[in-house]
Amino acid sequence: MTVENRKSFLEIKVIWKDDEMFELRVTASNINFFGTTDVYDKSECLANFAKTLKGFQNDNETIFYELGKKDCYAYFSMKYYSIGKSGYIGVEINLESDVPTVYRQEEKNKIKLEIIVEPNAIDNFQKELFYIASREEGVATLLATNDILYI
């Protein structure tokens, strides 16, 4: 991906599953920063989160979802919140890579970034997340609005 064609997005993809859980590869970029990690989830948990996103209107509401354990093996979180009266929604994304030690936190790869999205992007993402939860396969992509310089 070159500087000219970078995009802001959050992508969640099923990469492995068994009878009890599945593994997700989470990738995020806000043009300037990029990161990825692999975390585990269960269908019921992801489906419940997808339901909370349905019809998200950003009226000073904050929605939070996390997987893994912060400062441990692997971690992912996403927080949705309104950005003033603009109608846009901010998504704060935290990623920590799966370093096999909890004793040296400085060895971990960590990134926190924000993407700005429109409400209809949340609606599409919600449907894709629900599909992943029900089928335990697939990809959900939240596309950000790249052309917003100042809100």
For residue 109, the model assigns a pLDDT of: 87
For residue 87, the model assigns a pLDDT of: 86
Lowest mean pLDDT among 95-99, 102-106, 117-121, 147-151: 147-151
Asked whether residue 1 carries a pLDDT value surpassing 80, the answer given is no
75-82 and 110-117 strand pairing: unpaired
- Better pLDDT: 56 or 118: 118
Summarize the confidence of residues 99-111 as an average pLDDT: 72
pTM of the predicted protein model: 0.91
Asked whether residue 3 carries a pLDDT value surpassing 60, the answer given is no
Taken in order of first residue, the domains within the chain and their CATH numbers are 3-143 (2.30.31)
Summarize the confidence of residues 105-114 as an average pLDDT: 84
What pLDDT digit, counting tens, does each position of 5-35 carry?
678 999 999 999 999 999 999 999 998 999 9
The chain-wide mean pLDDT, for the chain, equals: 89
